Amino acid sequence: MSESGKPKIEIKLDELREEKLSNAKRPVGALEGAAHPGVVPIYVDSGVIESTWQHVRTNPYTEIGGVLIGKCADDGGPFTHIFDSLEARHTTTTVGSLTFTHETWADISDRMSCLPQDAKIAGWYHSHPGHGIFMSSRDVFIHNNFFRTNWQCALVLDPIKNEEGLFQIVDNQVVRSGFWRAGGRSSAHRTNSTPSIVVDVSLEQDPLVEAGEHFNEALDHVNDAIDKLGEYAKEKAVHFRSPLGRHLDKRA
Ligand SMILES: [Zn+2]
Segment 78-107 mean pLDDT: 88
CA of 7 to the centre of ligand 1 (A): 20
* 221: confidence class by pLDDT, cuts 50, 70, 90: low
Ligand 1 centre and the CA of 25: distance in Å? Answer: 32
- pLDDT of the residue at 50: 97
Distances (CA, A) of 44 to 27, 83, 123: 9, 6, 11
- Going from the Cα of 246 to the center of ligand 1, the distance in angstroms, rounded, reads 25
Between the CA of 252 and the centroid of ligand 1 the distance, in Å, is 30
Phi, psi of 169 (to 5 degrees): -100, 130
Q: Does domain 15-184+200-251 have CATH number 3.40.140.10?
A: yes
**57 contacts: CB under 8 Å, gap ≥ 6:** 159, 196, 197, 199
Å from CA of 124 to ligand 1 middle: 11
Please provide residue 180's backbone torsions phi and psi, each rounded to the nearest 5 degrees.
Answer: -100, 125
Compute, in angstroms, the gap from residue 171 CA to the centroid of ligand 1. 21
In our burial notation (b when 16+ CB lie closer than 10 A, e otherwise), range 61-73 reads bebbbbbbbbbbb
- The alpha carbon of 238 and the centre of ligand 1 are apart by a number of angstroms equal to 25
Compute the half-sphere exposure of residue 176: CA atoms within 13 Å on the CB side of its CA. Answer: 11
What was the pLDDT predicted at 130?
A: 93
Q: What is the pLDDT of residues 161-211, one digit of tens each?
A: 999 999 999 999 999 999 999 985 544 344 333 333 333 333 344 454 455
Give me ligand 1 centre to Cα 69, in Å.
19
Q: pLDDT tens-digit profile of 46-87?
A: 999 999 999 999 998 889 999 999 999 999 999 999 999 999
Report domain extents, the chain: 15-184+200-251
Write the burial class of residue 120 (CB in 10 Å: 0-12 exposed, 13-18 middle, 19+ buried). buried
- pLDDT, position 214: 56
Q: Is the pLDDT of residue 246 over 60?
A: no
Mean of the per-residue pLDDT values for the chain? 78
Residue pair 81/74 in contact (Cβ under 8 Å)? The answer is no
Nearest 5°: CA angle at 18, between 117 and 42? Answer: 65
CA of 150 to the centre of ligand 1 (A): 19
Residue 48 near residue 82 (C-beta atoms within 8 A): yes
Q: Which residues have CB atoms below 5 A from the ion given as ligand 1?
A: 136, 139
